[in-house]
Amino acid sequence: MDPRYVALLVAGLHVLTCKTWALVEVSMEDRVEVFLYNQASIPCIYNMNEKAMIITWSKKLPGRERSKVLFHIEGERGEIDDSGYTGRISYTHSYNSSESLGSIILTIDKVQLSDESEIICMVKDNTLADQGEGHTQLQVFNAPSIPAIVGTHNGISVDENKPSTVADCKVDNVYPRPNITWYRGTFPLQSSNDVKIMDRVTKNPSGLFTVYSELHLKVVREDEHAKFYCEVNYFTPGEKRMMESDRINITVFYPTTEVTMWANPSEKLLKEGDAVEIGCKGNGNPQPIFTFIHDKNELSSENELLVFKEVKRSDSGTYVCQILNLDTYTEVEDSIDIMIHYLDEIVVTPEKRVLDQGEDLTLTCNALASLSTHTEWYKDGVRVSEGHVLKLHNASQNTEGMYLCKITVVSLPELQKQTSLHINVRANPKITEEIVVSPMNKADHSVNLTCVAQGYPIPNITWHLNDRQTGEPLTESSVEYHEKGVGVLSIISVKANSEFTANCTAFNELGITSASRDVTTFARGPTTTTAPHTKATGITVPPKQHQQGGSGVIIAVVIICLLLLAILGSFLYFLYKKGRLSCGRSGKQDFTKENANKDEIGMKSSKSEEAVLLQGVNGDKKSPTE
Ligand SMILES: *[C@@H]1O[C@H](CO)[C@@H](O)[C@H](O)[C@H]1NC(C)=O
Ligand SMILES: *[C@@H]1O[C@H](CO)[C@@H](O)[C@H](O)[C@H]1NC(C)=O
Ligand SMILES: *[C@@H]1O[C@H](CO)[C@@H](O)[C@H](O)[C@H]1NC(C)=O
Ligand SMILES: *[C@@H]1O[C@H](CO)[C@@H](O)[C@H](O)[C@H]1NC(C)=O
Ligand SMILES: *[C@@H]1O[C@H](CO)[C@@H](O)[C@H](O)[C@H]1NC(C)=O
Ligand SMILES: *[C@@H]1O[C@H](CO)[C@@H](O)[C@H](O)[C@H]1NC(C)=O
Ligand SMILES: *[C@@H]1O[C@H](CO)[C@@H](O)[C@H](O)[C@H]1NC(C)=O
């Protein structure tokens, strides 16, 4: 016996409602609530001088007048009267004589829906003269499944006259009957002219309910963004609970009353070659079929979109987007102005590109554009002027160069064109560098001679080679020619075993100039001679100086050695005379010293001889005095 029940019931004994007030006071709870298939404990408390001998439990179904005995206790024996309870009923019975209180608790296992009823506990005293009874309502509950919602897949037009089906909600296996409430957003929906809620309840063979609820609405535009859901309210032992379904949205159809055109990109200025999209958007749902018109011509659109991969200036103009409102048979339209900017190819006038010295030239650089432009001139990569006119004054050698005219659209810098032109200034040929002689090729005794000349028109170079001994002309074995800018470079290869004079002559229609150089190839390579000059008479430094330079040094060294020997001799003689020198040892010492000196001098001279030799073989240009 559960002491909790006893305490509770004893405390509330006199306030509890007792259906029967006979000599035996019986008290029971108003109701006992239990989940389906759980266990129900129904207490029955009586007040008597002795332990009750006969207790009868009966049940009264709702709406019935009579009750039916389901279980009775006589003394210590309990007996089931209703076969529906076989194996499911047990009880406890106790009596406290000091308080004169008896307590019976009937326990029903695996409670079924059919158990729901009014349970009556009747207690008789042992004389069977007095009796009393108590009543308890046994209530059974089953919680439902989560409500399942299904929204309509069809769009709903706001023009429908009657409410349209919006969603279905289903709740399964619930007892007792629950309530379903519909919500739009956070607001519960109540039946009205615009809202119809249709509920349907079915009872399973087991006695549980399945509840369907259907929501019908006259939709408005705002329902496009609304979330709908259903909520189930149901009872459980001791409390009322609720569960919500998922949220759904619906598709709402409404007519287009306004269209708006757009272009992408929209902010920046458009130029030829840009990719542009032009589209149209209506304020209705679904989007209507648009007609695009440009300059009175109907255009075909791709997916309701005008797509230009590379716009041209001819695409400029007003674009119109039109729809026919089928409800009102009125046309709705919008338009947009598109301007495609452009910059044409540059034209530089005049065509003249060759100037005479001192000549003036005014160059004009122009390009047709749809917006204002800015023009800059560059000469050899350096900015020299702004504006489309470039004035060249008193043309000189410095005027020559690569000119570039660059035109930029001020408000659309990506729109830019440029063109370059070479300006030449007529000039006499000029030999700009002295003739360069390469080291001698040991294999075939050839040297390369290089001569560089400038002038415009670009000068031609011719060579004259004369043997210095015989005065015979030599022939070059190969000629190479390289033009660079306003200059020209000529390289010839000459086979020569003797000294010769190379004369490089540069000429064009304006004049002639030449330079010459003496070349010594056989001894120790070529020697420097004249600077380039335009006069016929070259200043030739005689190369013999260098040739005799080597033997001259040797002679000088020999003379100096002899002089030193003479001085040493006289010094030794002087010491000998003074008697301060013993003959043997010191003489020997000095002799070796002298030898060492001689060696040193000899080595020096031989070294320079070797150097000359080597240089000769290698064709080295180093001066032998080094
Ligand atoms: C009877 O009730 C009294 C008072 O509540 C308690 O003290 C006593 O233990 C009870 N006797 C029995 C046999 O339960
Ligand atoms: C269902 O609605 C009725 C009437 O409004 C109400 O009496 C009942 O308690 C409700 N049931 C639940 C489970 O909320
Ligand atoms: C509901 O809304 C979602 C996004 O919020 C959208 O993807 C879906 O298409 C909508 N469904 C209907 C039926 O309108
Ligand atoms: C033109 O340039 C030359 C040298 O470059 C100069 O001697 C002459 O005075 C200049 N003439 C004028 C008109 O500026
Ligand atoms: C001369 O030039 C030619 C070609 O440039 C080259 O093959 C040759 O080796 C040069 N000869 C000498 C001696 O430098
Ligand atoms: C300059 O030389 C080129 C080839 O080397 C030749 O074709 C041309 O006729 C020459 N010009 C003159 C003016 O001799
Ligand atoms: C080079 O040869 C030309 C033609 O033979 C001659 O007129 C000129 O004077 C010579 N120049 C020199 C510097 O020897």
* Structural domains of the chain, with CATH: 3-141 (2.60.40.10), 148-253 (2.60.40.10), 259-341 (2.60.40.10), 347-425 (2.60.40.10), 426-575+590-626 (2.60.40.10)
Cross-strand pairs, 156: 252
- Residue 181 Cα to ligand 2 midpoint, Å, equals 10
Inform me whether the pLDDT recorded for 611 exceeds 50.
Answer: no
**What pTM was estimated for this model as a whole?**
0.56
**42 in Cβ contact with 32 (< 8 Å):** yes
- Residue 485 Cα to ligand 7 midpoint, Å, equals 26
Substitution site in 448, 450, 491 for ligand 5 pocket (most atoms within 8 Å of beta carbon) = 448
CA distance 278 to 93: 90
Question: Does 358 contact ligand 4 (Cβ within 6 A)?
Answer: yes
Inform me whether the pLDDT recorded for 609 exceeds 60.
Answer: no
Substitution site in 464, 507, 530 for ligand 7 pocket (most atoms within 8 Å of beta carbon) = 464
Predicted confidence band at 525 (pLDDT cuts at 50, 70, 90)?
Answer: very low
- Residue 226 Cα to ligand 3 midpoint, Å, equals 10
Inform me whether the pLDDT recorded for 595 exceeds 60.
Answer: no
- Residue 100 Cα to ligand 1 midpoint, Å, equals 10
The pair of structure tokens assigned to 266 is: 């929209």
- Nearest protein Cα to ligand 2, atom 7: 179
Query: Measured from the CA of 10, which atom of ligand 1 is nearest?
Result: 5
Strands 228-236 and 179-184: antiparallel
Mean pLDDT in the chain? 82
Least confident of 193-202, 269-278, 453-462, 476-485: 476-485
CA distance 42 to 9: 12
**228 in Cβ contact with 151 (< 8 Å):** yes
Substitution site in 249, 252, 254 for ligand 3 pocket (most atoms within 8 Å of beta carbon) = 249
Percent of the residues in the chain that have a pLDDT greater than 70, as a whole number: 80
Backbone phi, psi, residue 293, to 5°:
-130, 135
* Nearest C-alpha neighbor of 562 from the set 528, 598, 587, 514: 598
- Residue 155 Cα to ligand 3 midpoint, Å, equals 11
